[in-house]
A and B are shown apart, each in its own frame.
Chain A
């Protein structure tokens, strides 16, 4: 009779092949060039380094295109173009800058199908996520900041915002286009010019975005896109012309950047790793909590810095939650990222796949209990099944290190204060989730969790108006909202 607390005996639900879906691949043409140069001063050009690297589709390991490897001279050219463009761009009336941003937002919407396919084959995320999340959110960020461009006098009473100059931006591979939008939109709205480096595994949508800038008629040099790996990134963040550096990526690299530019006078924002706690109380709506847990950790294959990778569940309902989770996992579809029915796509790179495999092995060898639903993975490409670890304790590696993959570590707690203590017992502090039917408890928990974002009875919700950023080793500075504008300006 009690659905919630009774352990289920041998009764099983059958998730078989009675009604198997036919393949439903998204067929729009992503229009990917065979080779991409660097986008500097409004034009694509060959790199002075004369080097190119391959970009592959992690879903099938096939080569997609060749991308220019920017050397120091190329990065320098990009900074010089951005510096030359800064004065006219920053002197434009805000309303005029806003028009460009609106135009970019609308062009992104117009070409969203094409961009969604490009994002999916370049990064491995399921097409339904690039179509329903990445593209609409990227456009929303440009629309939102377009609105701010002529209202900078009203951000803070009696003061106004002055641009910083040229900003150097380095973005990660998990949300390539969306992170570009998070970085470029506020920088342009406040009158800065940009040198941006996308991640080496996922540069395609940034380079396609350059064609949108061209179509929007953005003045040359306002946005420059240089591609490459760590060395290029190093040149971007340490360049003397950079008035500000904005970085999203790993904590290790973030620390290195902070060290490297210390004393240079550059402004810095870092959005780094996370190991978010998703806390489920015994009065929570369990099925919706399970849905939130799944969304929290399996969204984008778990390649999300604010992923709810630690599940803290009240001991009295732990069995019920875990058994519901296991049932839910059985109807998740893992496979071809381009298939419209795929829930979990490809891991972004071989390197990342190996990292996930290594951490999962450590979980098993340290004694945590592994559960993976049976699912057939494609033979080519980088795939990892959704994974649950129960019987995890605080001292396990999988409870501490950011896995950045579809792997959930489940721990239990007995009281709210124990939940707080465990949730905060991490060097990270990017996000957290609370599941409870009791409003007062949610508010109390939210004020005690050391995390930049706290979601209540939901997870992984984003909005351009809502500032996003971390505590502790998850970084500093905020992106989005009014707070995000202040990171790209001086208050005068």
Chain B
């Protein structure tokens, strides 16, 4: 058993400042009252489409399923002039299958590595997984932090592991998943954000969650992380990107998250180099709303490809 060294988290919090849960939730509730209409709505929906990391992370994933997902990422909807998604996000074993289709296009290949979602494998194994995914063609690696070490107060271990994964990534972009529901408090989320950002390169991401636990991205944890990114940028000049993942299913939700970005980090973060959505079902709701804005009518779900709930 490692010794519990809570003072390390305490010290980090003293440095980066605490978060008041009531206050942050009150702040984010205001984003939901913004009214986005007409051209602003179409702009927001297209922006959201361009930010989607279209994801399939299931035990039953097959090369065929991944191929289908890649086509959806490239051609979200026939008859709609909308951007491609930012990336497809798959398990390492599926990277080479995705590469056949999207390599050389605008759509990037992201792969969850480091014994996703638990991260409970020896570091050596995790690093090998990252290297394999990158060798197969992954442009981006979504890693999980060692939450056990974080909660046990071994902050330098957490940070060293992130640094090792970063090294294994080579040129690939790194996204660091904090798994906010396991960190539980906003204080911990803020502390973990700084811990990660301190070793990341400009353009690397911090990400809320794996989507594999009961609670995923919320406006609250998104806001805590956006404010951490803002504070880190203003004090160091390093621009870190952000990816909420899991739980964002509707266009309305996505627009609300984007308003949080607009009002917290400003225009420089309103692009898919700086902000992503880890989602699957979200894409079709965005498309549904875009078609509605274009034609004035809502289409039935079966008008949209890949609308099965499984992806």
Chain A residues in contact with chain B, CB under 8 A? Answer: 1-4, 6, 8-9, 11, 13-16, 18-24, 128, 132, 283, 285-289, 291-292, 323, 327, 331, 340-341, 437, 457-458
B266 touching A20 by the CB < 8 A rule? no
Q: Which residues of B contact A288 (CB under 8 A)?
A: 19-20, 22-24, 27
B interface, CB within 8 angstroms of A:
15-20, 22-24, 26-27, 33-41, 43-44, 47, 194, 198, 227-228, 230-237, 258, 262-263, 265-268, 270
A285 & B270 in contact (Cβ 8 Å cutoff): no
Whether the pair B17, A4 counts as a contact (CB closer than 8 A) is: yes
Tell me the smallest distance from the CB of B262 to a CB of chain A, in Å: 6
Q: List chain A residues, Cβ under 8 A from B258.
A: 19
In the complex, what distance in Å separates the CA atom of A423 from the CA atom of B15?
A: 28
B18 engages A24 (CB within 8 Å) = no
Q: How far is the CA of A15 from the CA of B26 in the complex (A)?
A: 22
A21, B34: Cβ atoms under 8 Å? yes
> Of A4, A8, A16, A291, which is within 8 A of B23 by CB?
A291
B22 to chain A, nearest CB (A): 7
Indicate if the CB atoms of B39 and A22 lie closer than 8 Å: yes
Chain A contacts of B18 at CB under 8 A?
283, 285, 437
Contacts of A4 in B (CB 8 A): 15-17, 231
State whether B263 touches A331 (Cβ < 8 A). yes
Q: Please, how many angstroms separate the alpha-carbon atoms of A15 and B263 in the complex?
A: 7
Q: How far is the CA of A8 from the CA of B265 in the complex (A)?
A: 15
Q: A11–B198 Cα gap in the complex (Å)?
A: 18
Instruction: Tell me which residues across on chain A come within 8 A of B236, comparing CB atoms.
Output: 1
Which among B23, B33, B39, B263 is the interface contact of A340 at CB below 8 angstroms? B33
Residue from B17, B22, B37, B227 in contact with A24 in the complex, judged by beta carbons closer than 8 Å: B37
The contact sample of 15 A-B pairs, CB cut-off 8 A, is A1-B194, A3-B194, A4-B16, A13-B233, A18-B270, A19-B40, A19-B47, A19-B262, A19-B267, A21-B34, A21-B40, A22-B37, A340-B34, A341-B34, A457-B23
* Complex contact B234–A11 (CB within 8 A): yes
CA–CA, A287 and B27, complex, Å? 10
Residues of B within 8 A of A341 (CB): 34-35
Q: A208 vs B310: C-alpha distance in the bound complex, in angstroms?
A: 54
Q: Output the least CB separation between B241 and chain A (Å).
A: 15
Residues in B with CB closer than 8 Å to A18 are: 267, 270
Q: How far is the CB of A1 from chain B (nearest CB, A)?
A: 6
Contact B268 A285 (CB under 8 A): no
Enumerate chain B residues within 8 angstroms of A292, measured Cβ to Cβ.
Answer: 23
Q: Which of B20, B231, B262 has the most CB of A within 10 A?
A: B20
Among A21, A287, A458, the residue within 8 A (CB) of B22 is A458
Shortest distance from the beta carbon of A89 to any chain B beta carbon, whole Å? 40
A291 touches B26 (CB 8 A): yes
Instruction: Give chain A residues whose Cβ lies under 8 Å from the Cβ of B262.
Output: 15, 19, 331
How far is it, in angstroms, between the C-alpha of A376 and the C-alpha of B16 when the chains are bound? 35
Judge whether A8 and B235 touch: CB under 8 Å: yes
Minimum Cβ distance to chain B for residue A6 (Å): 4
Contact partners of B26 in chain A: CB under 8 A? 291, 458
Identity of the chain B residue whose Cβ is nearest the Cβ of A5 in the assembled complex: B15
A15 with B266: CB separation less than 8 A: yes
Question: Contacts A2-B235, A3-B17 hold; do A24 and B267 have CB atoms under 8 A apart?
Answer: no
A19, A286, A289 interface centre (most CB from chain B within 10 Å): A19
User: Given contacts A15-B266, A341-B34, are A3 and B228 in contact (CB under 8 A)?
Assistant: yes
| A50 to B54 Cα, complex, angstroms | 71
State A277–B34 Cα separation when bound (angstroms). Answer: 30
- B267, A14: Cβ atoms closer than 8 Å: yes
Beyond A24-B35, A331-B263, whether A19 also contacts B16 by CB under 8 A is no
A24 vs B40: C-alpha distance when bound (angstroms): 11
Of chain A, the residue at the smallest CB distance from B25 is A288
- List of B residues within 8 angstroms of A19 by Cβ: 40, 43-44, 47, 258, 262, 267, 270
A11 touches B263 (CB 8 A): no
